[in-house]
Amino acid sequence: MQNNYPTVNFIGNKEKMTDWIFDNIPSDVKSIFDAFSGGCSVSFEAKKRGYKTISNDVMDINYLIGKALIENSKTKLSNKDIQTIFLGKPTKGFVYKNYSNVFFFPKECMELDLYRKNIEKLDSHYKKSLALVLLRRAMIRKMPYSRFNIPFKKVKQLRDEEYSYRKYGRRRAYHNQSFKEHFLDNLEEYNNAIFDNGKENKAFNGDIFKVLSKVKADLIYLDPPYTGTMNNYFGFYGFFDSFINSKKEKPFENNFIDKESSLELFEKLFSKLKKYKYWVLSYNNTSYPNKEDLTKLIKKFSKNIKILERKHNYQITGKEAKTKNKEYLFIVKNKNIS
């Protein structure tokens, strides 16, 4: 059975570019650290290709994707686990009290409260991670535009299937399927994505500057949020962290999207990569700092730089912008490591 990356729906995912990225990885690399793993498409491809793979993300939900799909090598959800997750009556908990008519209707929030409580009854961390990641997928399917910065007035409008048909020629019935239906629809795909590549893979959950010292790898892959693009990841997905932890979470620091501090953050980051033989940076041509500024900055730390580029169609951008988008791949070798 072939292990395929499951459908995650993560803005900025590099799923369509993983072949290009990995076809340009130096041949002597045995281990890869995906430092801003997001939806884990790069980590998953690294694991698939037999590398020892380490993922990291500051957001709890992205860490759980790494825990479920990268670190986990054999644990899947059974029929008994599914019964445990969906057993009982919806309850008025944290989501109902804080998010009714914000992203979902009150009854749906009560269902989420029940499932969150039941997931804690599962008998392993990997099962809990996988269940929460599947529930994430279910919530994404019910949310118009697959992100959580949409006003509820618009959510209700787009969940009206007749309105959607009149306006866009599509009814989008999946927005009104239940969480349980979506969970079960995606269960096999996610269970089949669990595999053992023979390596001891690991998922981390932290600010990159706190995690760097803990991770040893031949190559560090960098795909931070881009200044100047659709990059508000906490706005898009922060609700998941609040749901997981049953408390309203605050935006994380060191997010690279503030134009005033991004250059300084990049320099700070690059200065701490001396122990990695290679670093590979994915970047977009519409972002700040631009290719020239980044190249100049990288040369402070290594003159051995190769820059590749290719066109890339970002589905979230406007029609004109789609034709102008390019993806860069900076491949850097540290001169002091043989």
| Helical axes 179-192 vs 106-119, angle rounded to 10° | 40
Q: List the single range of 73-82, 96-105, 320-329 with lowest mean pLDDT.
A: 320-329
Average pLDDT over residues 278-295: 92
Facing residues of 311 across strands?
326
Q: Quote the pLDDT of residue 289.
A: 87
* Residue 316 in this model has a pLDDT that exceeds 50: no
The pLDDT score that the predictor gives to residue 317 is 41
Mean pLDDT of 290-297: 94
Q: Position 137: which residue type?
A: R
Provide the pLDDT for residue 288.
84
pLDDT band at 298 (very low <50, low <70, confident <90, very high): very high
Please list, in sequence order, all residues whose beta carbon lies within 8 angstroms of the beta carbon of residue 200, skipping any fewer than 6 positions away: 52
N- to C-terminal Cα separation, the chain: 38
**CB-side neighbour CA atoms (13 Å) of 327:** 20
Share of the chain above pLDDT 70, in %: 94
Q: What average pLDDT does the segment 323-336 reach?
A: 86
227-257 pLDDT, tens digit per residue, is 766 678 888 999 999 999 999 999 877 677 7
pLDDT of residue 68: 98
**pLDDT at position 320, please?**
46
Residue 159 has pLDDT above 80, yes or no: yes
Global confidence as pTM = 0.94
Report the alpha-carbon distance of residue 73 to residue 123 in Å, rounded: 16
CATH architecture of the domain with range 1-73+200-232+251-338: 3-Layer(aba) Sandwich (3.40)
Q: Is the pLDDT of residue 287 over 70?
A: yes
Q: Is the pLDDT of residue 169 over 90?
A: no
Banded model confidence at residue 82, pLDDT cuts 50, 70, 90: very high
Give the residue among 142, 129, 124 at the shortest CA–CA distance from 180: 142
Side chain identity at residue 19, one-letter code: D
Q: Which of 224, 246, 283 is nearest to 62 (CA)?
A: 224
Confidence of residue 318 (pLDDT cuts 50, 70, 90): very low
Residues 218-246: b if buried by 16+ CB within 10 A, e if exposed: bbbbbbbbbbebebbbbebbbbbbbbbee
Give the mean pLDDT of 28-56: 98
112-131 residue pLDDT tens: 999 999 999 999 999 999 99
pLDDT category at 338 given cuts 50, 70, 90 is low
314 against 220, higher pLDDT: 220
Q: Domain spans of the chain?
A: 1-73+200-232+251-338, 75-193
Q: Which one has a higher pLDDT value, 229 or 110?
A: 110
Lowest mean pLDDT among 49-58, 106-115, 165-174, 312-321: 312-321
Query: Which among 333, 330, 227 is positioned nearest to 286, based on CA atoms?
Result: 227
**192/230 Cα distance (integer angstroms):** 31
SS (H, E, C) 1-37: CCCCCCCCCCCCCCHHHHHHHHCCCCCCCCEEEECCC
Percent with pLDDT over 90 in the chain? 80
